[in-house]
Structure 1
Amino acid sequence: MLDIGLIRKDPEAVREALLKRMDKVDLEPVLEADRLRRQLVAAAADARAERKKQSKEIGSLRGRGQDTAELERAASESGDRIAAIETELAEAESRLHELMMELPNLPAEETPAGGKEANRVVSTWGEQPDLGPGALDHVELSTRLGLVDYARGAKLGGSGHWLYTGLGAALEWALLDFFCREHFAAGYEFMLPPHLLTEEAGYAAGQFPKFYDDVFHLQADEGERGSFLLPTSETAIVNVYRDEIVPTDRLPVKAFAYTPCYRRESGSHGTQERGTIRGHQFNKVEMFQFVTPEGGRAALDELVQRTEDLVRKLGLHHQTSLLAARDASASMKMTYDVEVWIPSIGTYKEVSSASWAGDYQARRANVRYRPEGAKNTEFVHTLNASGLATSRLLPAILEQNQQPDGSVVVPEPLRPWVGTDVIRPPK
């Protein structure tokens, strides 16, 4: 959520910033709702002051044995007026809140304007492997090697699901184990959050209302709280300190979590989305940080470096891109994508988005801290990065590491768990 004070102070600057990611920006409804709310706050304060004054006068008259009937009628009318103003105020605050929740975050100055076409590659690591003629795609490789059963996965869960089997399941778990050990050794706090979250969590994370229909909601009986399956553990972690003041000496809070991620939208069924590239359920290890405002940019650089290091330890050719405003999440002011090369489709696919939300999520979730020596609290800054998502790493590992005989070399960090250096076709 944006700072209403900033919109009130310089609406034109806010509008110009939002135009990086929106075709049209009209802040007048927000400003009008804010003006009405402030007028009603002032009116309510005046009415309460008048009511308090009347109460004192009634007490004074009673003490002197004088008639207070007329003044009591006036006080009763004041009470009715206060109740009416408070009803209007609640409606005005609700309207302002709805309008503010719909506004995306302000992109950072470094964030390019526009969509995917404006994304900027900032670094590249390794070389595209020369696989020669006869190279197989990840679907063919995973099928021949008995790593993924797509048909039975669809039988179990429907379209957009798959079943890891044998050494494929071992590879998947080895990746998750590798990532968790790396983050744990780096001092990140390990969390295993619920997969079922209340709807408040979705709004606080900034994913609702815009992406409300992109998650799996559970049917609730009348009077029950709404809930949904988490689309990413970022949604859970940002809510850990919701409505809390984080002790300053605890900042930065660095955490990571492993969860499956559940998403309704599974994309197209074209060549670029085959296999495990995109689905309704996939595994991901997520990093998250709560920091002071001045620590935000350094934390973003750290998260990008950590994700790049993980991909490099797996030996995978990849690039890192700074996303343009319209290609980044609406909740984030700045995002870098780490993207692995998938030879069969001749393109890079994102395996991690490292993003800095500024105080946007913290305002929605009401997560604060008290700067040293300060009387008032301020909002923390939040950041997140996949560390990493596995459903696109497996295709990259299979294709980049395939050998002429149809075998696949296992990345060195995964070999202790998988139990072999090379996965060969079954005899």
Structure 2
Amino acid sequence: MFDIKWIRENPDAFDAGLARRGLGPRAGEVLMLDEDARKFTHALNDLQERRNAASKQIGQAKAKGDEDEFNRLREEVDRIKHQMPAAEAEQKKKQDAIRDILSGLPNIPADDVPEGEDEAANVEVRKWGEPKGLNNAKEHFDIGEALGQMDFETAAKMSGSRFVMLKGSLARLERAIASFMLDLHTGEFGYTECQPPLLVRDEALYGTGQLPKFAEDLFKSTGDHWLIPTAEVSLTNIVSGDILDEEELPLRFTAWTPCFRSEAGAAGRDTRGMIRLHQFSKVELVSVTAPDQSNAEHERMTECAEEVLKRLELPYRTMVLCTGDMGFGARKTYDIEVWLPGQGQYREISSVSNCGDFQARRMNSRCRPKGEKQTKFVHTLNGSGLAVGRTLVAVLENYQQADGSVAVPEVLKPYMGGVEKIEAQK
């Protein structure tokens, strides 16, 4: 969401920001509605002042015994009371129209975000590790099915396509990966672990930007709740409607949760395997900062996510996304892409975004500097630390052995009860 006052003062900058997103100008339309809404606001204020003055004069006329003036003033108050609902309705109509427009527009990119229409214009920031040169490298689904512990057929029998059932050591390996991530983020990086709700109401999804624009990407219950597409929704809404002491910031939260996405726009993409499922798990990172902290926090959060891959010894590269490839709520995003030898390419495993005050305005989440009365909107950031299923995919492909087994990364062995490698079930 945007500050209407800023748009009034910077209409050209607002339209220029939208142009970088590949969108046409909207400032003129918004400001015309805003002017109309303000006219009705002024009219309402005038009516309220006249009503209050007349009400006060009614008492004075009654005290003087002036019956004619008393009746005239009562009639005036009645007329004003009948005029006000129409003015209020028109004011609300204009304000709702502004809200509808602004809630459907993406965040304005930061100045240092590269220009571009799609992922081809993303820019590599750094690379870590050497991709393993494996002979006849297999993809994760071939490895998992050969192990007898990755079952797409049984999952499809009960749920349809884009679901998987993990069994035995692979199920334990996924749990081990998530536990390792949580221990790292809470023990070394200062995140507070949470177990948030998986079902949320409309306003929570509106606050983080999934509604109203992306309803088709979500799963809705038969009641008033939606399944979360990511724990970003639950964790960010911890501060919804709050006024925080600025000295408390930054706040950092993490959670390992299932995530649910309809993948409405993913027809024909990654139809085999675990890359793009309707249900998957993720360790999410969320930070809430003061406005002047968010850029530094963005770099820090990205490094926290990268550290997971370093300790797993999985090669990766970090990309800054161009204006045409960023998510709806982001002002700047880093994608971390892990090397998958079975595919022979880097694939996204984490997306880390600084949303500025975009989500905070939708949630009305603010902070107050010590000793000051004035509040300001916080900044929010989110990122995968990491996507657990895709990390499992990366481990399987990078640690596959010639005999069909999979070596367990050193940092995961304590979580696997000392198991050195995963072999086919007998």
Task: Please say whether Structure 1 and Structure 2 have the same fold, judged by a TM-score greater than 0.5.
Answer: yes
Partner of 2:16: 16
Distance 2:19 2:371 in 1: 38
State the shift of 1:27 in Å.
2.3
Question: Equivalent residues in 2 for 1:403-418 (5 A)?
Answer: 403-418=401-416
Q: Secondary structure of 2:242's match?
A: coil
Conserved? CA contact 1:188–1:256, under 8 Å: yes
Aligned residue type for 1:198: R
Q: Secondary structure of 1:345's match?
A: coil
Distance 1:70 1:269 in 2: 74
Q: CA RMSD in A?
A: 1.4
Is 1:39 the counterpart of 2:39 in the alignment?
yes
Is 1:350 the counterpart of 2:348 in the alignment?
yes
Conserved? CA contact 2:149–2:425, under 8 Å: no
Partner of 1:211: 214
Conserved? CA contact 2:282–2:386, under 8 Å: yes
Conserved? CA contact 1:154–1:162, under 8 Å: yes
Q: 1:392 to 1:287 in 2, by over 3 A?
A: same
Structure 1: which 4+ aligned runs deviate by more than 4 Å? none
Shifted more, 196-205 versus 139-148: the winner is 139-148
- Of residues 199, 202, 208, the one that matches 2:202 is 199
Is 1:116 the counterpart of 2:145 in the alignment?
no
Aligned residue type for 1:350: E
State the shift of 1:269 in Å.
4.2
The number of residue pairs the alignment matches comes to 420
Q: Secondary structure of 2:226's match?
A: strand
Partner of 1:169: 171
Distance 2:291 2:425 in 1: 55
Q: Which consecutive unaligned segments of at least 5 residues does structure 1 have?
A: 221-225
- Of residues 393, 397, 402, the one that matches 1:399 is 397
Is 1:187 the counterpart of 2:179 in the alignment?
no
Partner of 1:277: 275
Distance 1:52 1:309 in 2: 64
Is 1:229 the counterpart of 2:227 in the alignment?
yes
State the shift of 1:87 in Å.
1.9
Q: Secondary structure of 1:193's match?
A: coil
Aligned residue type for 2:215: Y
Partner of 1:81: 83
State the shift of 1:161 in Å.
0.2
**CA offsets 1:57-112 (integer angstroms, 9 cap, x no match):** 22211111112112211221112122221122222222221111111111001111
Q: Secondary structure of 1:358's match?
A: coil
State the shift of 1:426 in Å.
4.1
Partner of 2:141: 139
State the shift of 1:291 in Å.
0.4
Conserved? CA contact 2:281–2:387, under 8 Å: yes
Distance 1:3 1:343 in 2: 46
Partner of 2:365: 367
Distance 1:71 1:159 in 2: 72
Conserved? CA contact 1:255–1:287, under 8 Å: yes
Distance 2:160 2:151 in 1: 13
Shifted more, 396-405 versus 320-329: the winner is 396-405
Q: Secondary structure of 1:140's match?
A: helix
**CA offsets 1:173-232 (integer angstroms, 9 cap, x no match):** 000100111111132111111111001111111111111111001123xxxxx2110000
- TM-score for both structures, normalised by structure 1: 0.95
Conserved? CA contact 1:146–1:167, under 8 Å: no
State the shift of 1:135 in Å.
2.5
Distance 2:193 2:399 in 1: 31
Distance 1:399 1:268 in 2: 24
Shifted more, 85-94 versus 60-69: the winner is 85-94
Partner of 2:424: 425
Q: 1:418 to 1:146 in 2, by over 3 A?
A: farther
State the shift of 1:48 in Å.
0.7
Conserved? CA contact 1:286–1:385, under 8 Å: yes
Q: Which consecutive unaligned segments of at least 5 residues does structure 2 have?
A: none
Distance 1:375 1:199 in 2: 31
Distance 1:177 1:45 in 2: 58
Q: 1:91 to 1:23 in 2, by over 3 A?
A: closer
Question: Equivalent residues in 2 for 1:252-263 (5 A)?
Answer: 252-263=250-261
Percent identity of the aligned residues?
Answer: 37
Partner of 2:56: 56
Partner of 1:223: none
Conserved? CA contact 2:137–2:341, under 8 Å: no
Aligned residue type for 1:69: N
Partner of 1:335: 333
State the shift of 1:248 in Å.
2.4
Conserved? CA contact 2:196–2:231, under 8 Å: yes
Partner of 2:106: 104
